[in-house]
Chains A and B, each alone.
Chain A
């Protein structure tokens, strides 16, 4: 093998190591995973019941359709939550365990390290999201007669590139503030979704929020997925939502790595990786 091939092989093995470690942790914290899932289900239900509630209070709306709209919003909310949570754990959890210095002094490139976390987050997030969707769907009659699940999946997969980019940016916060940094992941999640029409149409927002919606990948993800599931739009018909996602993805991934790199340099300058011993 040439030197370059060996180097690539080493990095791929490193990526495997990141995924492997996360898998061990999921296994070890299995009970917590179940508990957390139950919480997510409860949380999602509180939102999806709203459509029925509005009708019971005398409102006129297409309950089946609105319930489906809410369900999609809530599921995407939870999916983003998982991605950001796992990515902020890149630093957060390791600081807590005290392993961060060992990980950061290993010859694993930071990009590969973060990609490993991202790959795990995607797989784990998709499984959880599919489960959540299934469980919640069983509580309601939904408008999924014409749904194109494949097209919805394609949109979600492409949107995930941008979500990962943003997630990597938020992953840097625990490096700067070990105590509070992880919470900034939630803030990013909330900011992203509030302007993106998570439970409502973007058109009802004030003008300045609509402007922000244009650069938020979640806007296109939500709209595309709703279009695919409610109206049966295929991948071709969704191009209008897919290309902005590709553009945002192409920008946000390198931007995410650059932000993280800056944060790492800052932390290494100021001795913030860990301070003991």
Chain B
């Protein structure tokens, strides 16, 4: 059985435009199909707005797809969401905690939602915080007083505390300094060696994808252009580095991206994000 099976997955969002009344619908996922084997780590690269986070959200039952199928260890994310939620946890770009509460308090209540009792968390929380290299002296500090890197370590601890068999990492190291980044990456590697954890890693960091993942996929406007081992990727796009392959596959040069060439994004209305 595959850890993740995704078949022809589709999701559209209507873009509520500030100008036009009827927002046009753009696909965030446009018929994505792939599998992840048990214990495997797959990295997904893709430009801003290519659908990476949407994929992660569908797999964690936070967004209902419009069509296609997604299964986590055989459980359908739509019809069997409860079973999926027990198996999955996630680390995303923002740490997301109750800012006035301490790391230990944040981890305690979050662990309860996964059925971990008081006795279990009393032992496991300090253990896990040690493992992710969280400084002992800051355990009872308020989250808002911690640096981003330190908060991200707590986010990793939160995900690991519940022993997920599928770990969804959505840009876990974006915005971290090089040292924190290395620490987090090393830690991710350690978990993989120790446990049988399957990982889906979405990232903008080509090196990270290369060192952590067995296979790399490139998502472009909701379509998975390719998915395979690094060598295959390089060969297919006649590239020497993953970055070159990425640029070749997304069909534009660096200058084309964002402001100029990315008409998708430039048409996007300002949205209030909370």
Instruction: Spell out A's residues near B (CB within 8 Å).
Output: 6, 9-11, 13-14, 16-18, 20-21, 24-25, 28-29, 95-99, 101-109, 178-179, 265, 268-271, 273-277
Which of B85-93, B186-194, B254-262 forms contacts with chain A?
A: B85-93
Q: When the two chains form the complex, which single residue of B93, B97, B99, B273 contacts A275, counting CB atoms closer than 8 Å?
A: B273
Which of B111-119, B207-215, B228-236, B239-247 forms contacts with chain A?
A: B111-119
CB <8 Å contact, B62 and A268: yes
Q: Can you name 9 extra interface pairs (CB under 8 A) apart from A24-B101, A105-B85, A105-B90?
A: A21-B98, A99-B97, A101-B92, A101-B96, A103-B113, A109-B82, A265-B64, A270-B14, A276-B93
**DSSP majority for the B interface?**
loop
| B223 close to chain A: CB less than 8 A | no
Q: How far is the CA of A228 from the CA of B271 in the complex (A)?
A: 54
CB <8 Å contact, B96 and A98: yes
Q: Chain B, 93-135, contact with A by CB distance < 8 Å: what is the 0/1 string?
A: 1101111110001001111111111000000000000000000
Give chain B residues whose Cβ lies under 8 Å from the Cβ of A178.
274
**CB within 8 Å for A105 and B82 given contacts A24-B109, A277-B94:** no
**CB within 8 Å for A270 and B13 given contacts A99-B96, A105-B60, A275-B273:** yes
Give chain B residues whose Cβ lies under 8 Å from the Cβ of A18.
109, 112
Q: List 25 A-B contacts (CB under 8 A).
A: A6-B115, A9-B115, A14-B113, A14-B114, A17-B109, A17-B110, A20-B108, A20-B112, A21-B98, A24-B98, A97-B97, A98-B94, A99-B97, A101-B60, A105-B62, A105-B89, A107-B82, A108-B113, A178-B274, A179-B274, A268-B64, A271-B63, A275-B271, A275-B274, A276-B93
Most B Cβ at <10 Å: residue of A6, A11, A276, A277: A277
CB <8 Å contact, B101 and A277: no
Q: How far is the CA of A24 from the CA of B104 in the complex (A)?
A: 11
Q: How far is the CA of A14 from the CA of B86 in the complex (A)?
A: 13
Give chain A residues whose Cβ lies under 8 Å from the Cβ of B99.
97
Q: How far is the CA of A269 from the CA of B274 in the complex (A)?
A: 18
| B5 close to chain A: CB less than 8 A | no
Most A Cβ at <10 Å: residue of B88, B105, B108: B105
CB <8 Å contact, A24 and B61: no
**CB within 8 Å for A277 and B90 given contacts A17-B109, A102-B96, A106-B113:** no
Give chain A residues whose Cβ lies under 8 Å from the Cβ of B54.
271
**CB within 8 Å for A14 and B64 given contacts A105-B85, A107-B86:** no
Q: How far is the CA of A21 from the CA of B104 in the complex (A)?
A: 11
Tell me the smallest distance from the CB of B129 to a CB of chain A, in Å: 17
CB <8 Å contact, B101 and A106: no
Give chain A residues whose Cβ lies under 8 Å from the Cβ of B116.
13
Tell me the smallest distance from the CB of B87 to a CB of chain A, in Å: 9
Tell me the smallest distance from the CB of A86 to a CB of chain B, in Å: 15
| B220 close to chain A: CB less than 8 A | no
Give chain B residues whose Cβ lies under 8 Å from the Cβ of A97.
96-99
Q: How far is the CA of A65 from the CA of B149 in the complex (A)?
A: 62
Q: How far is the CA of A11 from the CA of B93 in the complex (A)?
A: 29
Tell me the smallest distance from the CB of A89 to a CB of chain B, in Å: 12
Q: When the two chains form the complex, which single residue of A11, A29, A104, A265 contacts B100, counting CB atoms closer than 8 Å?
A: A29
| B170 close to chain A: CB less than 8 A | yes
| B197 close to chain A: CB less than 8 A | no
Nearest 4 pairs of A and B residues by beta carbon? A17-B112, A10-B115, A106-B113, A21-B109
| B53 close to chain A: CB less than 8 A | yes
Tell me the smallest distance from the CB of A178 to a CB of chain B, in Å: 5
Give chain B residues whose Cβ lies under 8 Å from the Cβ of A104.
61-62
Q: How far is the CA of A25 from the CA of B99 in the complex (A)?
A: 10
Tell me the smallest distance from the CB of B156 to a CB of chain A, in Å: 13
| B10 close to chain A: CB less than 8 A | no
Q: How far is the CA of A17 from the CA of B117 in the complex (A)?
A: 9
Tell me the smallest distance from the CB of A40 to a CB of chain B, in Å: 22
